[in-house]
Amino acid sequence: MEAGPLSPPDALRGLAEIANRDDALKARTEGLTWVLWGFVNLGVAMTYLALLPEEAFLGAPDLASPAVLLVGLYPLTGILATVGLWRSAALSFPTGMSFRRGLLFFTAFLVIVTVLSLGFLPFVGWEQGVLGKSVAVGLFLLGFGALNPLGFTRSGRGSAFALGAIALLGGAAGLAAGLTGTASVLLATGTLGWAWVAVGLWALYHG
Amino acid sequence: MTGDADLDPLLHQPVRGRIMAYLYRNRQARFALLRDALDVTPGNLQGHLAKLESAGYVTSSRVLLAMFETHYALTPQGAEAFRAYVARLRALIEESGVD
């Protein structure tokens, strides 16, 4: 259907409004965020697998172990990189992401996921703790997609739902199959690492 | 004031004008992104894109990355037509003294 007469000022205003939208850049920033956190998850899993014997996955972690300390560097780097990424994007479109707000947001993300993961421990035990973490991250992402605290695009919210479902189903399937040790870490690596990288790359090149 | 004299009738339509503005700014866009940015129905968008494409203003390509999607971009002819359209709009506003 054709619209009625359009005055030149109205036409120009409409063009300026749409030309100022940066949805593509926003979608790519979201994609890069997924890729970053995919690598964080992969880094955590690979470090555990490389530095710790399988028995280490079957009990409570030794918090003073170099591997545990090294693992902590990944989320820390992930937070700083993500905040930096969104602050850079703020030069082109309003992200509302100051350094302080970003730090608070992503630290809250880690705290929520950690609390949820620990909450699952009484039910799954340390030997399946990583699968409990998968379920926790899945729940978090479903909540993230529903509440959309960072104002993601429709595609970005769709990605959050898809990744949340993958993590949730992956973790639940591993728990149902009784996976422990290396097998559980590898499953979690796939659902929390490679899936995020794949979805992020898709958004990055498809945005 | 309608001020549509000498304006490209293909571009002087809200949705098509915005499609051109979006593609001019972003160089190219996939269908879903255009639909979200313009907040129009897929059928409506498809119809306007088809008109722009048949006029030679827009080109489309099917891209396979995990799944097939159609990407749209301005042709040089489309970019030139858009620049001329915007220049004409500005001139009309200036002539009429309307801000």
Q: Per-domain residue ranges for chain B?
A: 14-92
| A178: enclosing H helix or E strand | none
Chain A residue with minimum CA distance to B92 = A8
Q: B13 and A207 in contact by Cβ < 8 A?
A: no
3-class DSSP string for chain B: CCCCCCCCCCCCCHHHHHHHHHHHHHCEEEHHHHHHHHCCCHHHHHHHHHHHHHCCCEEEEEEEECEEEEEEEECHHHHHHHHHHHHHHHHHHHHHCCC
Which residues in chain B are contacts of A158 at CB distance < 8 A? none
Q: Which residue has better confidence, B80 or A104?
A: B80
Q: Does A12 touch chain B (CB under 8 A)?
A: yes
Supply A116's token pair: 């949820």
Which residues in chain B are contacts of A22 at CB distance < 8 A? 26
Q: What are phi and psi of A96, to 5 degrees?
A: 65, 20
Q: A5 and B17 in contact by Cβ < 8 A?
A: no
The residue among B11, B16, B25 with the most chain A CBs within 10 A of its CB, best to mutate, is B25
Contact B18, B85 (CB under 8 A): no
Which residues in chain B are contacts of A5 at CB distance < 8 A? 2, 4
Contact A21, B34 (CB under 8 A): no
Query: In CATH, what is the architecture of B14-92?
Result: Orthogonal Bundle (1.10)
Which residues in chain A are contacts of B7 at CB distance < 8 A? 8
Percent of chain A with pLDDT over 90: 18
- Say yes or no to pLDDT of A193 above 70: yes
Please give, rounded to a whole number of angstroms, the shortest distance from the CA of B22 to a CA of chain A. 5
pLDDT tens digit sequence for A94-148: 776 777 877 888 788 888 888 888 887 777 777 788 888 889 889 989 998 998 8
| B81: enclosing H helix or E strand | helix B76-96
Rounded to whole angstroms, what are the CA distances from B46 to B19, B20, B23?
11, 14, 15
Segment B67-87 mean pLDDT:
90
Read off the DSSP letter of residue A127.
G
pLDDT value of position B57: 96
Report the mean per-residue pLDDT for chain A: 83
Which residues in chain A are contacts of B21 at CB distance < 8 A? 14-16, 18-19
Q: A205 and B24 in contact by Cβ < 8 A?
A: no
The residue among A6, A10, A153, A204 with the most chain B CBs within 10 A of its CB, best to mutate, is A6
Q: Compute the distance between CA of residue B35 and CA of residue A195 in angstroms, rounded to an integer.
A: 26
Q: Compute the distance between CA of residue A26 and CA of residue A20 in angstroms, rounded to an integer.
A: 12
Q: Compute the distance between CA of residue B25 and CA of residue A161 in angstroms, rounded to an integer.
A: 30
- Say yes or no to pLDDT of A2 above 70: no
- Say yes or no to pLDDT of A63 above 70: no
Please give, rounded to a whole number of angstroms, the shortest distance from the CA of B76 to a CA of chain A. 18
Segment A16-31 mean pLDDT:
81
Q: Which of A13-22, A59-68, A81-90, B79-88 has the highest mean pLDDT?
A: B79-88
pLDDT value of position B72: 92
Q: Which residue has better confidence, A96 or A48?
A: A48
pLDDT value of position B74: 93
pLDDT value of position A1: 44
Q: What are phi and psi of A139, to 5 degrees?
A: -65, -40
Q: A8 and B36 in contact by Cβ < 8 A?
A: no
pLDDT value of position B2: 47
pLDDT value of position B1: 43
A7: nearest Cα among B81, B17, B74: B17
Supply B5's token pair: 């004299």
B28-30 vs B58-65, strand pairing mode: unpaired
- Say yes or no to pLDDT of A92 above 80: no
Please give, rounded to a whole number of angstroms, the shortest distance from the CA of A56 to a CA of chain B. 37
Q: Of the candidates A9, A23, A198, which has its C-beta nearest B33's C-beta?
A: A23
A134: nearest Cα among A58, A195, A56: A195
Q: A7 and B2 in contact by Cβ < 8 A?
A: yes
Q: Does A7 touch chain B (CB under 8 A)?
A: yes
Q: Compute the distance between CA of residue A117 and CA of residue A123 in angstroms, rounded to an integer.
A: 11
Q: Does A6 touch chain B (CB under 8 A)?
A: yes
Q: Of the candidates B2, B17, B93, which has its C-beta nearest A15's C-beta?
A: B17
